[in-house]
Amino acid sequence: MYLDPWKPVDKAIISHGHADHSRWGHKAYITHHINVPIIKHRLGEINVTGKEWGETFTIKNVKFSLHPAGHIIGSSQIRVEHKGEVWVFTGDYKTEDDGVATPYEPIKCHTFITECTFGLPAFKWRPQSEVFNDINTWWSDNKAEGKTSVIFGYSLGKAQRLLRYLDTDIGKIYTHGAIENMTEVIRPLSPMPETTRVTRETKKEELLGNIVVAPPSAHGSTWIRKMVPYVTASASGWMAFRGARRRRAIDKGFILSDHCDWQGLLESVEATGAEKIISTHGYTDIFTRYLLEQGYDARTEATQYEGELGEETEKEQE
Ligand SMILES: [Zn+2]
């Protein structure tokens, strides 16, 4: 039994649908039932079993259960219990309730295996309501200037979070094909606003003043030329880095992450009551050093998880 394995195995428990956690080639998949249609969309006809939150299943005397991780829709932490010893594997997670994913719940455990994509004290997120106010104001300003707004977010997770809070009183929401395809899968699972797919037939005049949600890979592609005159923005935790927006030649950066910030990580570690903390990906060394100073038994474990980078490098087809 493996959790989010990166090599093909017989039995895999999958935390969530991002490409760096749900790989192709396992003989059997177990995941939360909300994630079943999502990973089927990505991986095709796989042998997958869906579980409820907190539903216990036993494999060779080890008890497993899935608990909300709040990262993206259908994302789980995986609780593992054997002879009274409890470990929790977070996969990716965030503590803020984004209104789309089932909100994160801290789980008591002895050992906590945590991601720390943004495990630096400099990362401190604002409440998403403030960020979405900024995004909608930006859209409205672009419209007043007669421009199309193009905002980049990963096709699974970030895109639906954007869709949920874009203000359709300003204009219409258009989507890149990769985002429309994924959103069609998610519509029966979570309410989404009306969207229109950008196709070859879409005229640039009809896009003017409206907003287009696209995956990061669409930036710099021929696809985006249809949007002229347009203004670009990225909604990502990486936008907190000085220079990240300029390096990517994006007009505007909105700091919006589906991962914990520094405080979120620390509060989560504390809420689990765990004494052993294992960090899997992100700023693991800095986070681990800090935890050691606080008296935790902390270490880093090398994995192939990539946090937001893994979500971005996923191949996104139009
Ligand atoms: Zn993820």
Q: What is the pLDDT of residue 93?
A: 97
Ligand 1 center to 312 CA (angstroms): 10
Ligand 1 center to 290 CA (angstroms): 24
Read off the tokens for 312: 């971005």
Are the C-beta atoms of residues 239 and 254 closer than 8 Å to each other? yes
Q: pLDDT per residue over 105-137, tens digit each?
A: 999 999 999 999 999 999 999 999 999 999 999
Between β-strands 62-68 and 57-59, what pairing exists: parallel, antiparallel or unpaired?
antiparallel
Query: For the chain, how far is it from start to end, CA to CA, in angstroms?
Result: 35
Ligand 1 center to 308 CA (angstroms): 7
Ligand 1 center to 40 CA (angstroms): 16
Q: Give every residue of the chain whose pLDDT is below 50, as ranges.
A: 312-318
Q: pLDDT per residue over 136-151, tens digit each?
A: 999 999 999 999 999 9
Q: What is the pLDDT of residue 283?
A: 87
Tell me which CATH code domain 128-254 carries: 3.40.50.10890
Ligand 1 center to 18 CA (angstroms): 5
Q: What is the pLDDT of residue 241?
A: 84
CATH superfamily of 2-123+258-317: Ribonuclease Z/Hydroxyacylglutathione hydrolase-like (3.60.15.10)
Between β-strands 76-82 and 62-68, what pairing exists: parallel, antiparallel or unpaired?
antiparallel
Distance CA 181, CA 77 (A): 26
Distance CA 17, CA 244 (A): 26
Ligand 1 center to 171 CA (angstroms): 30
Neighbours of ion ligand 1 (CB under 5 A): 18, 92
Closest CA to 15 of 98, 71, 81, 94: 71
Ligand 1 center to 154 CA (angstroms): 10
Q: Which helix (H) or strand (E) is 169 found in, with range?
A: none
Distance CA 17, CA 76 (A): 10
Please provide the average confidence, as pLDDT, over all residues in the chain. Answer: 94
Ligand 1 center to 156 CA (angstroms): 9
* Domain range list for the chain: 2-123+258-317, 128-254
**Burial class of residue 184 (count of CB atoms within 10 Å of its CB; 0-12, 13-18, 19+):** middle
Read off the tokens for 280: 């899997």
Q: What is the pLDDT of residue 297?
A: 97
Read off the tokens for 299: 């270490």
pTM for the structure as a whole:
0.94
Are the C-beta atoms of residues 260 and 118 closer than 8 Å to each other? yes
